[in-house]
Chains A and B, each alone.
Chain A
Amino acid sequence: MAASSALRATDGGRSQAVQWLIWLVTAVLMLAPALPILLQVFVDRPLYDSGWQYGFGNITALLTSPAFGRALLTTLVFAALTVVIAQAIGIFAAIVLGRTDLPGRSLIGGVLMWPLYLSHLIFAVGWLIAYGPSGLVTQFATQIAGGAPWTLYSVLGMAVVAGVSQAPLAYLYCLYGAVKSVDPALESAARTVGAGPFAVLRRVTLPLMLPSIVTSAALNLIIAVETLSIPLFLGRPAKIETISTQLYMLGVASSTPQYGLIASSSLLLIVLVAATLMLQRLILRHSHRYETVKGKGVRTAPLRLGPWRWPLALAMWAFLALGVIVPVICIVLRAFTSFLSPLIAPWHVLTLDNFRQLFGNATLVRSIGNTFFVSIAAAVIATLLAVMIALVVQRSNFRLKGSLEALAYSPRVIPGMITGIGVFYAAIVLPPMGWLRDSLWILVIAYVMAALPLGLGVIQPAVAQISADLDKAARSSGADWLAAMRRVMLPLLRAAMAGSFVLLFVSYLKSYVIAIFLMAPGLEVMGVSMLTLWTNGEVGVTAAFASLQILGIAVFLTAARILMGVKLYD
């Protein structure tokens, strides 16, 4: 009987070879960038120097540095404020837009999603052009109030910009994870036992949203900790440092990068992110209490707001206008003008100079081509890899599928900037990867690694929805595992693969943090170019570039919706 316990079903020799290959590729992709960082933490000099001395010098240097302590505290305060703002907006919007008869709610929901398609970088640029110290709206307000009524160059200012830009994530999770999926019978049941509509919201709907609220809060916290452009653009002018800006200054802006400190702060960021995810798990360990069986019941009529309808709609539109629409309009306006001021009507300063400058600069033009190449290649590779990993994890008898899944999701705890650092280290330390240093493929690898969990997040639920009987039927019809996957699962996953591609492509297109540490002449991408342009004070060209990217993403998403039938976040 001892033999029997070790016996497992086999998927056939050919299939097992493929499964091992997938595992190996994933393991190398994930570990090659992660291990050098760990190594660097305990080595006293850059990994490319000889004569390594091992020790804890880097960690003690980091922990005893007062600047680091301040940055850590600032990061935590900023991240916490951001989450509070993002969740408050998101939860409120999910309930009001998903549950009430607010006029124009689908249009409001659409505009609320805009920040999700734009990067933090573009969003920060928009807010600065509108509400920065010399921003258009700020100047208006100053004329009226006779003094600057607010300053964006503060931790609160950073948190407001980050909070508004991350609100869509909370909104999406709460809307689809809870408001729209809660069995209407649960709410009807509460009505029948005497609860009024608002009591139902408070006592049934809101508590059932808890897992969605916790999950999106954890995600937003992680994004806030990692974000670079907002603290860099809004914080640094006021000498506010976060861990991410410190990393940037140490590694990119400094002429003598302190690799030991970079690696130790990276490790600390990873620990922070991992702790957040563990906290989320801890809070949700009883999440079955919130699981609701979907009923076929008719959706209860939306809550009637009565006299509150129009005032509430007006308030929502005012918020969207100020928080989302004005910044975007300001970017476009600034792109087509030589400067913005309330004293001069924009049509007197109309110009195409910004675009001329942009297209006259070979490096900037090249960065557009690079971005498209890297985004397409990485989105294709990451989608295919995600499909293969998902099929092995969910549909095979592969011995190591548990570790495969853990490996594939490990980038979730590694902030994007640090993925870049890791890939950079790997290319230095591992001789076979040296050729990558001057190739765009180094960006592709970093992008694939960083966003693999995002792709898996689209693919895995789709695989789970396909009945296991379908591949069992293929197996008993004579197909080995590989043939069953190729002939039955892959064709059925086409829509999910298109969805994953679109999602990854857009996120790569707007990404800037991953590539920051990998920049070399010839490898420029749009996000990093914009970051450099802005820090060099080239506001007009940055705005022109940002307008182009906004246009590109809008065109691509529209095309994806029409041609591939892919609707992101729906």
Chain B
Amino acid sequence: MTDLVLTGLRKTYGDFVALDSTDLTVEQGEFLTLLGPSGCGKSTTLAAIAGLDVPSGGRITFQGRDLYNAETGLCLPPEARNFGVVFQSYALWPHMTVEKNVSMPLELRRVPAAERRARVAETLELVGLAAFARRYPGELSGGQQQRVALARAIVFKPPLLLLDEPLSNLDAQLRLQARSWLKDIQRSLGLTTIYVTHDQEEALAMSDRIVVMKQGRIVQMGRPEDIYGTPLHPFSAQFVGSANLLEAELLSVGDDGLARVRLPNGPEILGHAPLPLTGAGPVSLVLRPERIGLAPVAGPGPVNEIIVQAGAVSYLGEGYEQVLDLAGQSLRRKGERAMTEGPGRIQVAAADLLVFRKD
């Protein structure tokens, strides 16, 4: 069942377009992540859904009801939307105890005192903070504050949970734990969740579906596996999994999507076009660093053997990363072993070399 629908949603600040006519639907119980670099419009989208910011045009409906509609001039204030919001800064009220912070949404909804106490206790139990009920936010660690923020957002059983980079203020170790903990709670409550992050690992690990955004537009949406495995835009490939980007000239395309391209001042190679591509012209090639082989690979489809100049090596622990020079363009390669510096050969399957029309 569809919960949330954004239709042609726009937000402009003067001439600057923060969000450009965006369509999006979110299913009930789904964990949807808006992923992109800062300024891509992900937080703008979240603020528009929460009612914290008024869009410039379009429409937002939730369970068939209008939240915002530019045509009719309707814009429900945040308190009328009944969504749980977790802020990047946690935004805990410093003058109230943990208990009071969590109980406030219930007080505002005029829940009777006895039921209020029970639900606050139950929610604090759920986030593992029952022992900290009487503490003030300033007396808690960052991870505990983040849990209070979540408790406050879910205590009134909102139909939609909105999270704005909730883990970005935690250190790396804690972030990893909080990730799975948050996902567990979301799944056990069956909460429809929209999650905003710029961290691709977080997005891949937690989401049912990822929406990759760039400069106010949706670049690609799909399951994490699809985003990583079959990027439909050079930007998704670059942002998720930090793929190499090369410039090339398209020579010809076959019906099977097999494309013949020529690198500037370099060799002709074979790649794969995931989207229909016609004619000649400049193209972008996308190649994941870990898909650059050293030994000839057997497998379906043709394999390119390319001569490169191997450069500086960095040791990463689980392997090596090395900079390669391919006819003047720079590539990063990841592998268990490094090449010796100087001229060498790499093996790239045509299926791993994605060809896109240049933007």
Contacts and interface: CB of A to CB of B under 8 A. Distances in A.
Interface string A460-484: 0000000101101111111111010
B75 interface: yes
Interface residues on B, range: 35 or more
A290 B54 CA distance: 35
Contacts of A296: none
B79 A475 contact: yes
Given A469-B87, A470-B93, A492-B95, A477 B75 contact: no
Interface stretch (B28-36, B104-112, B224-232, B246-254): B104-112
B52 interface: yes
Interface string A98-124: 000000000000000000000000000
Contacts of B104: 474, 477, 479, 487
B19 to A, nearest CB: 13
Nearest to A484: B79
A344 interface: no
A491 B152 CA distance: 19
A7 B10 CA distance: 13
B70 interface: yes
Interface in A7-23: 7-12
B88 to A, nearest CB: 8
B51 A9 contact: yes
B77 A469 contact: no
Contact of A1 (B70, B79, B152): B70
Nearest to B104: A477
A7 B94 contact: no
Interface string B243-282: 0000000000000000000000000000000000000000
Interface in B95-146: 95, 104-105, 108-109
B105 A7 contact: no
B84 A476 contact: yes
B156 interface: yes
A470 B87 CA distance: 9
A7 B54 contact: yes
A375 to B, nearest CB: 29
B85 A473 contact: yes
A479 B108 contact: yes
Secondary structure class of chain A's binding surface, majority of residues: helix
B203 interface: no
A65 interface: no
B78 A475 contact: yes
Contacts of A282: none
Contacts of A10: 75, 77
A472 B78 contact: yes
B149 to A, nearest CB: 8
Interface in A473-523: 473-481, 483, 487-488, 491-492
Nearest to A478: B108
B356 interface: no
A10 B79 CA distance: 11
B78 A476 contact: yes
Given A476-B84, A477-B108, A491 B79 contact: no
A12 B54 contact: no
A71 B219 CA distance: 73
Contacts of A478: 79, 82, 105, 108-109, 156
Contact of B52 (A476, A479, A488): A476
A314 B152 CA distance: 61
Given A3-B70, A7-B75, A478-B156, 15 more contacts: A6-B73, A7-B54, A469-B91, A470-B91, A470-B93, A470-B94, A472-B91, A475-B51, A476-B81, A476-B85, A476-B153, A478-B79, A478-B82, A479-B104, A488-B93
Interface of B: 50-57, 70-73, 75, 77-79, 81-85, 87-95, 104-105, 108-109, 152-153, 156, 162
Q: Which 4 interchain pairs have the tightest Cβ spacing?
A: A469-B91, A4-B70, A473-B91, A478-B108
21 contacts: A1-B70, A3-B70, A3-B73, A4-B55, A7-B73, A9-B54, A9-B75, A10-B75, A470-B94, A472-B78, A472-B85, A472-B87, A473-B87, A474-B93, A476-B85, A477-B108, A478-B82, A479-B104, A480-B77, A483-B79, A492-B95
